[in-house]
Structures are given as C-alpha cells and as structure tokens.
Amino acid sequence: MSIELLQDEIIACRRCPRLTAWREQVAIEKRRAYRDQLYWGKPVPGFGDSHARVFVVGLAPGAHGSNRTGRQFTGDASGDFFYPALHRAGFANQAGSVARDDGLRLTDVYTAPVCRCAPPANKPTSEEMANCQPFLQRELEIIQPRVVVALGRIAFDSILRIYSLRNPHWKFGHCAQFKIENGPWLVCSYHPSQQNTQTGKLTVKMFDQVWITVKTLMSL
C-alpha cells in the first residue's frame, strides 16, 4: 500500500464513536477566533516526506489546531515550537505552519500522531489509541525510517508496543536513544506542548539538541 492510500483510509476512519462525535462537534461549534474558518473535523493523516529517514511520532491533534487545519502540528502552539526547530535543522523549508496550503514542505522527515482524532481534554483512552496503532504501524512499515523520534512518553510506549520491545532498561528520557534490533534508532524528546515549553521543561536549546542527535544517527 502507498502512503497516499493509507492516508485516505485514515481520513475516512470512524472506528471510535467518542472521538468521532467530539471532533465533529468541535468542528461545528468552533472557537470564536476561528469562527469564519472551515474546520477539518476528520482524523488527521501523517505529513511529510514519504521517503523520509526520520519518523516523528506525536500524541494527538489539538481540538482547534490540527482538528481545524487538518495537518499535524499546524495552527497551534506545539507546531509553533516544532516546525521552527525542523527549519533550523534543515528538515523544513520554512519555520511557520498555519494551514495545509501554506507551502510548508518537509525533507527527510515524516510526522504522525499516535491518536488521529482530537480527544476530549487531550486524553485519548487506551482503547482509542489501540484502535489507531495499526495506522502508525503500517506507516512505519511503508516508510522504514532509520530514526524514530518519540515526542513524549505515550509516543515512546506506542513505539515499544509496535516493535514488541520489552527491555526493562529502556526508559523514556529527554534525548535518550536506543537501537532497535534490525530496526531504526529510537530517540526520545519531551513533547513540544505549552505545558513543557512555557514551564522551561523543554527549551529551544534542548529541542535543537534532539535534531542534532537525529542527524548524527541518520547516517549510522
């Protein structure tokens, strides 16, 4: 299957009743600042270079971010921190990300969330994440990256499940790195959410170090 056909399948998914109802409700009610915009209101597919050597895994779309724009890390504060870092590292042609048609292009990077629909209170259930896991697994099989970047512990745990990894010594930590046997490198980072960036848990310098590490591992 091509990545494009898989993305079409993801967009059409209605597997989780709670998430389907929520994402569509948000798209109708909207936030006042975006009341004149047409919300995406569907599952959010992956985005980026289909021949990428780096695969970045996030958590879930924001209700008024990706659920509005239809593109991963686009139109919210996380994206305002994420894409400038990719631009500084040479993976993105521009630092800004506001809409699907804003001209943003990624080189050697593909990104997708663990959960494809915006969840209430930003908290998908374990069952909902399990429903989405086959999509992420198939994307990884198609792209076959050399490096996987897990943004946050939930993304890290999802990658461990996909690759059936149970090493008790593998612990999530910022910039921690592990080599999956017969598979890619796994690099961890705190998620670029406002909860982390506004409190100083994740700084620009710390996030840039992740991409320096990634660029080193890409060629190993």
pLDDT by 10s per residue, the chain, length 220: 799 999 999 999 999 999 999 999 999 999 999 999 999 999 999 999 999 999 999 999 999 999 999 999 999 999 999 999 999 999 999 999 999 999 999 999 999 999 999 999 999 999 999 999 999 999 999 999 999 999 999 999 999 999 999 999 999 999 999 999 999 999 999 999 999 999 999 999 999 999 999 999 998 8
Q: In a 10 Å sphere around its CB, with 0-12 CB exposed, 13-18 middle and 19+ buried, how is residue 8 labelled? A: exposed
Taking CA atoms, 102 is separated from 86, 93, 164, in Å, by 16, 11, 38
- List the structure tokens of 58: 């996030």
DSSP state of 121: G
Q: Which candidate, 94, 90, 110, places its Cα nearest to that of 102?
A: 94
- pTM (predicted TM-score): 0.97
Task: Give the helix/strand (H/E) hosting 58.
Answer: strand 54-58
Question: Domain limits of the chain?
Answer: 3-218
| Coil, helix or strand at residue 14 | coil
Which amino acid makes up residue 210? V
Return the CATH fold of 3-218.
Uracil-DNA Glycosylase, subunit E (3.40.470)
